[in-house]
Amino acid sequence: MLIGMVEMSEGSASIFGYDLKTEMDEIRNILGFCPQHDILYDELTVKEHLEMFACFKGTAKENVS
């Protein structure tokens, strides 16, 4: 929930003063992500994986190639 992969159902939380429910874009700009399992998808190519993670970190589409 704190990284935004699962939506919160109740309560509230903040990271560095940013509200988890309303400021997830700002949180993603400052927060790293290290999954504890294999996060690669068999259906995606290497390029598609890189594009997906660039999107997660807020990289503009015109800067992803």
CA distance 28 to 55: 10
The three-class DSSP label of residue 33 is: coil
CA distance 23 to 21: 6
In this prediction, residues 50-65 reach a mean pLDDT of: 86
Predicted confidence at residue 44, as pLDDT, reads 93
Residues 20, 5: contact at Cβ < 8 Å? no
- Which tens digit of pLDDT belongs to each residue from 2-30? 666 777 888 899 989 999 889 988 888 88
Q: What is the model's pTM?
A: 0.52
User: Considering the chain, what is the average pLDDT of its residues?
Assistant: 84
Residues 56, 33: contact at Cβ < 8 Å? yes
Residues 51, 64: contact at Cβ < 8 Å? yes
